Structure 1
């Protein structure tokens, strides 16, 4: 373990230690520091999603400490690297709750990692924020889900893509786990509602990197649009193989996942130009809040830092919402902080306005549609204050405060 200005990194290699200037800090009174934990992959197969989230967590905590901390107390952040290992997620959640005695945990990437930690943190009554987009349905008073869900993006995104590309026949490629399977069902629903059809949906384990046979099937099916719900470093091979097949300029593509791991940086413009995507954050959002946020981020982590993703921006929002709730409650104790978060607490930041929905502990948030161009995003449309409609259909924590279930949201036919 290496101590870097009161911030600790557990399980991180040298690449995970930030060698950038820190914000100036005020002198804190000799009181106990507030313990905060981050559990994100800094290494392993899904580290492309974790690194921007770690950076944004560090930035948010440093800014709070530079402004005097929370309740006049310094925040001590411990970052754990589970190395894309689900067993380590449960182990580190236990360590954060018991040995570190963290007031709050920010972490998780895949739904499996969230579900490895959530029951542990429920058991130890340690507040938990999950900040990546996901399939929806978590209903747990101890957990706050900050990322977008299909009900907040796909209802607007699907008809936009169909109209832009002038197509009705859609071919879906998806990761073979909860998010991919459920998102594919939402895509099918909204395609049908807009007069189209899903001609085929294929699902791939996260370690698949050979898409030759799939590309031949796409060529045979002759769809108008490809909808990608692929996830992880291995699946990036599809975009390269798609270009190599000569198909990129023949069938346009949209995606609910391209870019959440900075694929727009890892692929070339020939591979990604023209892909249409929809999230709750893009670095191309042109607002004073986002411009200031990006300037602080790259000043701290350098021009070659991982580009900011929805997961990163929503982690930043999560930390600030938690800090506002602690100040409102006047304590770091779990129950008063939850009550403050449920009071309609909002934060206006780089992603726009996010407001905690008390019924579901999800965000009401702004969603955006953008086009990938030359390693960047050009925002095309924005939709203010989209409620978590899918999770609202299955979760009511005001009526059932002891619920701690992940419901499989039934997609209406």
Structure 2
């Protein structure tokens, strides 16, 4: 594999031990537990990947500061997948076959997850996908810790129906996440007595939305529901405000803020946008405040907004670590059995519990509104189950399932 100097330096640095001075010499002498990380640190999704990488480095450092796991230090091996699916596949094989990692935390888009999940299944490597997504993964070797539509999208749509009106216009990214999330948006809108006038899909490289904004003006919806993804799609919100639409038709999004839009857009372009996530930096609890402080202390005050991607990655790492401790081993099957035993972690988002049947998490959900480049948390919903995935996945009854279900949204 040919690597340029920048990639070589980055990989070499990332492959070092993430360790704190408190870890004892005996732990250093032990063979490290290898944790793989596959995240986009550059390209259109680089902003999302960087905040996730900060979180996993913090979690690894915390574990090592307490003596590691099973008397062994944690070694973090990261590859920058550069927002390229080919690199996901390439580096996944390298982590499994050359680096021989014990677990992998990685992937951002559903496409990246489905490129690497079969690799880790084939080579029997435990895999954690720490990102909100459309639901449906049912795989005993895989744990999905982010929110699914049943946990957040229904809360978002319900809020818009009650506060803005019953007529919605849906815009979404043209790949698995956007296509399926748009179906959930339509379902929840109709279930609430509303209607969707149009659904428009956009490839990830689209940056010009002038024609779409014109179509929305003609349709005159009460609200725009957005599942646009990535830095290119951020252009929609800027163009929407420039067209004078922000004060006329509100926007509710399942993704806004994940690529640090609050920092890149002016407040006049983002104020009033409604979202629903499993975590906001502004959650007023000791655990949330400690998490935000720890990241900023470690990586500097210039760290961008700390949202669900960072929190869920941090919680996913600690859930895995709890499983290793309970199993007393990094053996894949022993860890899976331990993780299926109802393991919980009190993280920045609140209590997070792994669900045996789905390998997803039961977690809190929140609705927030952008106000002056911050999020005002409007509502909270404790202990939300991944009911969408539970409708198609039962790993208790069918433990050998290895499939990405496309949930039939009716």
Cα distance change, pair 99–257 in 1 and its aligned pair in 2 (3 A): same
Check conservation: 2:368, 2:377, Cα contact below 8 A.
yes
Match of 1:189 in 2: 187
2:150 is paired with a residue whose SS is: helix
2:276 is paired with a residue whose SS is: strand
Within-5 A mapping of 1:307-386:
307-386=305-384
Check conservation: 2:54, 2:310, Cα contact below 8 A.
yes
Match of 2:103 in 1: 104
Check conservation: 2:19, 2:61, Cα contact below 8 A.
no
- CA–CA distance in 1 between the matches of 2:15 and 2:152? 34
- CA–CA distance in 2 between the matches of 1:90 and 1:73? 29
Match of 1:171 in 2: 169
Match of 1:271 in 2: 269
Cα distance change, pair 360–53 in 1 and its aligned pair in 2 (3 A): same
- CA–CA distance in 1 between the matches of 2:325 and 2:58? 19
What's the CA shift for 1:109? 0.4
Structure 1 consecutive aligned stretches of length 4 or more whose deviation exceeds 4 Å: 8-11, 13-18, 20-24
Match of 1:285 in 2: 283
- CA–CA distance in 2 between the matches of 1:293 and 1:43? 24
Structure 1: runs of 5 or more not aligned: 1-7
Match of 1:4 in 2: none
Within-5 A mapping of 1:235-314:
235-314=233-312
Backbone CA RMSD of aligned residues: 2.0
Structure 2: runs of 5 or more not aligned: 1-5
Match of 2:26 in 1: 28
1:28 is paired with a residue whose SS is: helix
Cα distance change, pair 13–100 in 1 and its aligned pair in 2 (3 A): closer
- CA–CA distance in 2 between the matches of 1:411 and 1:250? 31
What's the CA shift for 1:309? 2.1
**TM-score normalized with structure 1 length:** 0.94
**TM-score normalized with structure 2 length:** 0.95
1:181-222 deviation line (CA, Å, top 9, x unaligned): 111111111111111100111100000000000010011000
Match of 1:3 in 2: none
What's the CA shift for 1:99? 1.0
Cα distance change, pair 185–15 in 1 and its aligned pair in 2 (3 A): farther
Cα distance change, pair 138–223 in 1 and its aligned pair in 2 (3 A): same
1:401 is paired with a residue whose SS is: coil
What's the CA shift for 1:306? 2.4
What's the CA shift for 1:27? 2.6
Cα distance change, pair 16–100 in 1 and its aligned pair in 2 (3 A): closer
1:290-349 deviation line (CA, Å, top 9, x unaligned): 001111110001111122121111110011011111110010100010000000000011
Cα distance change, pair 14–400 in 1 and its aligned pair in 2 (3 A): closer
Verify: 1:155 aligned to 2:137, yes or no.
no
- CA–CA distance in 1 between the matches of 2:194 and 2:35? 48
What's the CA shift for 1:164? 1.8
- CA–CA distance in 1 between the matches of 2:41 and 2:223? 34
What's the CA shift for 1:353? 1.0
What's the CA shift for 1:375? 1.4
Match of 1:81 in 2: 80
